């Protein structure tokens, strides 16, 4: 691929291209399966399932009720991106900080949630307005978008988990 797609977050695709896959879904419900390398998965419309397997991944479900998995590897940093009208999405394996990586300098910063077209006030509103599912999973509210963080408690959500894009 000669042209790297522009991303709201500079993920060093230009300066450190390495090996990565770029997949774009349709306006229907799609299943996008990544690789063990870096993935850029964009679901677009429909109720999508995006699964990255390893590497530093960027996942954006788009409109619809999406299910996003970065691969669960705490040794790499994934980015999960949302705009204010993305529906009801679930991140299955958000890892805000690699516990063992704290001993490594510099270690990975952990997964991050990208608020597309957001401002600092949006981060403040999202972190203050966290609710939870009956199972105790944190639910973030960004505009009309609800983001469930499976396995994360509402009281654990921190502002430094978010990036603006």
Nearest CA to 42 out of 75, 17, 13, 8 is that of: 8
Backbone angles phi, psi at 157, to 5 degrees: -65, 130
Q: What is the pLDDT of residues 98-130, one digit of tens each?
A: 666 666 656 567 899 999 999 999 999 999 999
Q: What pLDDT, on a 0 to 100 scale, did the predictor assign at position 100?
A: 64
Q: State yes or no: pLDDT of 10 exceeds 60.
A: no
What's the start-to-end Cα distance of the chain, in Å? 24
Q: How far apart are CA 15 and CA 67, in angstroms?
A: 30
Percent of the chain as helix, strand, coil, to the nearest 5: 10, 30, 60
Q: How far apart are CA 70 and CA 79, in angstroms?
A: 8
Q: What is the pLDDT of residues 41-73, one digit of tens each?
A: 999 999 999 999 878 899 999 999 999 999 876
SS3 71: coil
Average pLDDT of the segment spanning 10-26: 64
Compute the C-alpha angle 112/27/115, nearest 5°: 20
Q: What is the pLDDT of residues 124-149, one digit of tens each?
A: 999 999 999 999 999 999 999 999 99
Strand 112-115: give its sheet, edge to edge: 20-24, 38-42, 58-60, 79-82, 112-115, 162-164
Do residues 139 and 113 lie in contact, with contact meaning Cβ atoms separated by under 8 Å? no
Q: Which helix (H) or strand (E) holds 131?
A: strand 131-132
Q: What pLDDT, on a 0 to 100 scale, did the predictor assign at position 14?
A: 44
Q: How far apart are CA 45 and CA 37, in angstroms?
A: 25
């Amino acid at each position: 691929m000669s042209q790297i797609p522009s991303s709201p977050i500079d993920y060093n695709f230009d300066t450190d291209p390495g090996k990565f896959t770029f997949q774009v879904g349709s306006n229907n419900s799609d299943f996008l399966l990544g690789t063990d390398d870096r993935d850029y998965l964009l679901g677009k419309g429909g109720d999508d399932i995006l699964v990255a397997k390893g590497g530093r991944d960027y996942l954006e479900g788009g409109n619809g009720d999406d299910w996003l998995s970065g691969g669960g590897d705490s040794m790499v940093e994934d980015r999960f991106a949302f705009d204010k009208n993305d529906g009801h999405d679930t991140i299955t394996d958000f890892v805000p900080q690699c516990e063992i990586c704290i001993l490594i300098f510099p270690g990975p910063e952990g997964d991050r949630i990208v608020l597309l077209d957001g401002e600092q006030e949006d981060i403040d509103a999202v972190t203050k307005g966290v609710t939870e599912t009956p199972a105790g999973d944190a639910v973030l509210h960004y505009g009309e978008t609800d983001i469930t963080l499976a396995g994360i408690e509402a009281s654990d959500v921190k502002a430094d988990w978010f990036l603006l894009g």
